[in-house]
């Protein structure tokens, strides 16, 4: 599912974010940037341990911040680690909003054109998928209006439930 925002794109696809072939993928991280299970574990397994080591050297950071590393062995050239929770592994709407915006802003400052997000905060953080979708898509749509570098925001959702939640929000924004 694709939505055009005056020549800039938001899309929702079902798949494995580690297969994304673009400038940068986002890791749903803790603020110390150690990579455990879920999206972080998949990125570490596919991209290599160096990604985690490079991220941890940049932490800890305030929850909501983001840091960037190389993409290691991934197709994506970089990984942005969005601190969507602290060591307590708890998140909320404001943190998801901040982490999404921090990630997009970091991509913009690095001159990157394409960025792929998972559903931030919905795994270990336990945040509701539909709420995360509404927040993240709204932040992305608002950001693209003034972006000079970022041209494509892709939400890569692993499971059908996550895909459906994000597709429903994107469809509603199109109506």
**Signed CA dihedral, 92, 98, 102, 104: sign only:** positive
pLDDT of 175 over the 60 cut: no
Residue 43 has pLDDT above 80, yes or no: yes
Over residues 9-25, the pLDDT tens digits come to 999 999 999 999 999 99
How high does pLDDT run on average in the chain?
95
Number of H helices, E strands in the chain: 5, 7
Owning domain of residue 105: 2-174
CATH classification at residue 139: 3.40.220.10
Provide the number of structural domains found in the chain: 1
Helix (H) or strand (E) holding 24, with range, is strand 24-30
Q: With H, G, I as helix, E, B as strand and everything else as coil, classify residue 157.
A: strand
* Residue 3, pLDDT score: 87
27: CB partners within 8 A, 6+ apart? 35, 39, 40, 43, 55, 79, 80, 81, 82, 118
Per-residue model confidence as pLDDT tens digits over 124-172: 889 999 999 999 999 999 999 999 999 999 999 999 999 999 999 999 8
Predicted TM-score (pTM) above 0.85: yes
């Amino acid at each position: 599912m694709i939505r055009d925002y005056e020549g800039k794109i938001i899309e929702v696809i079902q798949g494995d974010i580690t297969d994304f072939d673009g400038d940068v993928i986002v890791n749903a991280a803790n603020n110390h940037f150690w990579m455990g299970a879920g999206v972080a574990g998949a990125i570490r397994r596919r991209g290599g341990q160096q990604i985690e080591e490079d991220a941890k050297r940049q932490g800890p950071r305030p929850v909501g911040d983001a840091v960037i590393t190389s993409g290691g062995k991934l197709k994506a050239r970089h990984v942005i680690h969005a601190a969507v929770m602290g060591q307590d592994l708890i998140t909320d709407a404001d943190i998801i909003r901040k982490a999404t915006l921090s990630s997009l802003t970091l991509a913009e400052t690095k001159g990157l054109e394409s960025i792929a997000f998972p559903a931030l905060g919905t795994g270990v953080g336990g945040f509701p998928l539909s709420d995360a979708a509404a927040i993240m898509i709204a932040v992305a749509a608002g950001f693209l209006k003034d972006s000079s570098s970022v041209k494509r925001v892709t939400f890569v959702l692993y499971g059908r439930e996550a895909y459906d939640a994000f597709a429903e929000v994107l469809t509603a924004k199109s109506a």
